[in-house]
């Protein structure tokens, strides 16, 4: 393996000149630069990451801590990760993957051990044991999601309150006055991750504004769970003409359940679904949907953490606005 000294010798310059040529931190003459580039190429030189980290106290690595729970929507999770990796590479950083269950220990191992010089942490809960750890760190971090007691920790997320409102606004504009919400599994609410509650908050607020009557039910990822939720909603709101689904797994099951109950979408029941566009488009009835811009959130998180790394100020909380894509599952309610 060639070292910077080999390159310097080969190019007839000092090691520092090679270093500066690489970093661009000081001007290099055209001729020197050419010789250096050549030498690098012919020797197949790559800087040793560890040596570099030691000398510069920068690892050029950002740690990404992901939940690998089975009540999460995995494709969305991977979109976050993709956004993070892509943005990180754009900032010339690599990504170290940590799992949620490594907890605060994992975070401090990676941070204190100088493996990573910045952190992106997903799915932080209220009262999360990792928050105190994150606070004591000398390294910048950004949370994806809105932690209850995040204090001045920086975070990015979709504006789930606005998403809940947007769903109801759309339905209300179409004339719906009785709307049910098929929610996340109970475990998600009891974890108090926040996003699910925030969605309900927006949903409820908008309903009141529109004078619509609403009901809310959590929902498991099973046909039985979906059927139970739908029945409960109908029992509570017999005149229900629209459903909002905040549950990516349940959406296809919901469509099937409604069809087996003889309710047509959107003729009898309109549906607005929180899900990725490709899921919405693949459904038997393409769903009007609000997507979680997961890749964008991931890359924003990295941009923000890089800003902090470079001493620039980053906003405390960034909420991305939701966008609704109108498809075939929503229509005006038919007169009764």
Partner DNA sequence: TTGAAAGCGCTAACAT
Partner DNA sequence: ATGTTAGCGCTTTCAA
Of the candidate residues 7, 21, 40, 77, the single one contacting a copy of itself (CB under 8 A): 77
Among a copy of itself, DNA, none, what binds residue 209 when CB lies within 5 to 8 Å by partner kind? none
Give, as ranges, the residues between 219 and 248 that touch a copy of itself (CB under 8 A). 221-223
Residue 68 touches a copy of itself, criterion: CB under 8 A: yes
Q: Can you say whether the dihedral through the CA atoms of 169, 175, 177, 182 is positive or negative?
A: negative
Binding site for DNA (CB under 7 A): 1, 3-5, 12-17, 19-20, 22-23, 25-29, 31-32, 45-48, 51-52, 54-57
Give, as ranges, the residues between 156 and 215 that touch a copy of itself (CB under 8 A). none
The binding track of 97-136 with respect to a copy of itself, each residue x by CB under 8 A or -, is xxx--x-----xxx-xxxx---------------------
Cα separation, 116 vs 62, in Å, equals 5
Tokens linked to 87: 């943005």
Is the preceding peptide bond at 266 cis, omega within 30 degrees of 0? yes
Residue 296 touches a copy of itself, criterion: CB under 8 A: no
Of the candidate residues 18, 36, 85, 219, the single one contacting a copy of itself (CB under 8 A): 85
Residue 95 touches a copy of itself, criterion: CB under 8 A: yes
Cα separation, 322 vs 68, in Å, equals 25
68-72, long-range: CB < 8 A, 24+ apart: 68/99, 68/100, 68/101, 69/100, 69/123, 71/184, 71/185, 71/187, 71/188, 71/221, 72/123
Cα separation, 289 vs 216, in Å, equals 18
Cα separation, 217 vs 232, in Å, equals 8
Binding site for a copy of itself (CB under 8 A): 1, 44, 46-54, 59, 61, 64, 68, 70, 74-75, 77-78, 81-82, 85-86, 89, 94-99, 102, 108-110, 112-115, 138, 221-223, 252, 256, 278, 282-284
């Amino acid at each position: 393996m060639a070292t910077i000294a080999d390159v310097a010798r080969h190019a007839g310059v000092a090691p520092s000149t090679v270093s500066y040529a690489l970093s661009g931190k000081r001007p290099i003459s055209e001729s020197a630069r050419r010789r250096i580039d050549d030498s690098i190429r012919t020797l197949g030189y790559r800087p040793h990451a560890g040596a570099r980290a030691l000398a510069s106290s920068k690892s050029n690595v950002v740690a990404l801590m992901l939940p690998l729970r089975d009540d999460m929507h995995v494709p969305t999770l991977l979109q976050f990760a993709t956004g993070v990796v892509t943005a990180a590479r754009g900032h010339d950083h690599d990504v170290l993957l940590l799992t949620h269950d490594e907890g605060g220990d994992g975070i401090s191992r990676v941070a204190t051990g100088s493996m990573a010089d910045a952190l992106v942490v997903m799915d932080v809960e209220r009262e999360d044991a990792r928050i105190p750890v994150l606070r004591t760190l000398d390294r910048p971090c950004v949370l994806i999601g809105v932690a209850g007691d995040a204090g001045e920790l920086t975070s990015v997320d979709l504006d789930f309150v606005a998403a809940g409102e947007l769903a109801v606004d759309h339905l209300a504009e179409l004339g719906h006055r009785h709307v049910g919400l098929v929610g996340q599994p109970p475990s998600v609410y009891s974890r108090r991750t926040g996003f699910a509650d925030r969605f309900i908050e927006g949903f409820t607020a908008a309903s009141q504004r529109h004078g619509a009557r609403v009901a809310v039910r959590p929902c498991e990822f099973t046909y039985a769970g979906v059927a139970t939720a739908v029945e409960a909603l109908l029992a509570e709101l017999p005149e229900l003409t629209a459903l909002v689904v905040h549950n990516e797994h349940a959406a296809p099951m919901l469509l099937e359940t409604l069809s087996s109950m003889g309710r047509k979408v959107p003729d009898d029941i309109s549906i607005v679904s929180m899900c990725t566009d490709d899921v919405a488009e693949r459904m038997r009835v393409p769903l009007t949907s609000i997507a979680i811009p997961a890749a964008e959130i991931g890359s924003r998180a990295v941009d923000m953490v890089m800003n902090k790394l470079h001493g620039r100020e980053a906003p405390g909380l960034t909420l991305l606005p939701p966008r609704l894509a109108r498809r075939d599952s929503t229509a005006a309610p038919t007169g009764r």
